[in-house]
Structure 1
Amino acid sequence: MSELDDFPPQPSRGLQQADPSRIQQDILEEQVELWWFSEPRKSLLCYSASVALVVGCGVGGVGLLSSTTSLSSEWRLGAGTTLCMLALAVVLKQLLSSAVQDMNCVRSRQRIDVLKSGGLSDILVVLLTGLSLLICGAVLLNVALGYHMPKPGQALNDMFISGVVLLAGGGFTVVAVTVYSVVVFFLARIRPERRLRDRMLGIFTVSGQMRARRETASSLAQLI
């Protein structure tokens, strides 16, 4: 018995302090729902950009389709249909992410980082939408400037204005996505973000310490 009494109690205390942290980390690792909201600022920014694209492309496409006449039926139908399809593609991406999140069928952190709002899929969808707007605007400008007439008429003027608007919108979208990607890449390299489980782990640790203090205080009060 004397030999057993010689063992110091510090290792057991260390193990008791390490076990709750490990248990809390394991519990947080199993909470897949939290992985979808690990970066709220990115999610809000990309979601706002998606909403702006849907509204802009949808309103522009419906406007071109509703103003189609016999004199300008071809380019208005083509440009309006393209804008509506782009808006539909962005909406389908958001619906797909929401459906996957609600069904909880994806339990891989890498796949969730791709599918969540603000992930790689959002960047690709917005980039492809901007490139499509650039191509559509360039085609309209090329056709409008190809007619060398002293009085091109209202149809060609509308085509030129639509081409300029689409080209400006697509260029701004592509530049914004490029700048955003570069900034996110350098911030990840220079100042790696803390994971959600690390932040939540600190919260649970503090709450655990507060509970321990409350239990100690209540036991002391009972003794008194």
Structure 2
Amino acid sequence: MASERGARTGPARTKTPPVFMYHSISPSDQPDPYRLRVHPDRLDRHLRLLRRSGLRGVSLSELLRAADRGEARGLVGLTFDDGYTDYLEHALPILQRHGMTSTLYAVAGRLGGGNEWDDGPRLGLMDADRLRTVAAAGQEVGSHTMTHPHLPGADAESLAAEIGGSRTVLQDILQADVVSFCYPYGEFDDAAADAVRAAGYDHGCVIGDYDPGDRFTLPRCYVSPRDTGAHLVARMARHAVRLRLR
């Protein structure tokens, strides 16, 4: 999914270790036109590679807290977009086996439903009880808006409803602060990023953009269904180079 580059200026670039972006984790062989489905065995190989490299995957909030303390060395971020039900069955046991955490981004207005924003195969989304199970397992739950819309160009009222409204819904479900936000499709503009800040989130993440790369437009590395460990290593190296050069 391509992201749309914003033109924000002001806050300084936030330099963190790389953050990997997954979606569905499933052994299904059904059509996957948007390349969202990573096989559980492949995720397991990815995490084993991280461990062998002396790295530990953590939620985005944990990564940023460590970066704020100057203690992020040896960490990478792990995120899972959309809140698919297969996270509980397939991703969570693998994360727990490797002693890692992640951020799961839920679409608050579609809980218990499906990915209606796509015209591809229908995938089930977690309901409120499943989200509570995720949080109780020590994983972070973040917001992915109410309905997964395209945010650039949206008016202020729509931004407040999608961005602030989803935080309210999720906090009511979890009875905990929700501080992490993920832009649908990785798209953002100045107004959307400002709305994330105004809604009370601590940070927001996109996909591959490195501009402006501040705390509310953090870049992530998309992981495709065919990515090997070598792909992850290459992305980590590219991330390091881009941050040094900018």
Aligning the two structures, in what range does the TM-score lie when normalised by the shorter sequence?
under 0.3
TM-score normalised by the chain length of structure 1:
0.23
Which structure has more relative contact order (CA 8 Å, sep 6+)? It is 2
Task: Return the TM-score normalized by structure 2.
Answer: 0.21
Higher strand content, 1 or 2: 2
- Larger-Rg structure: 1
Higher helix share: 1
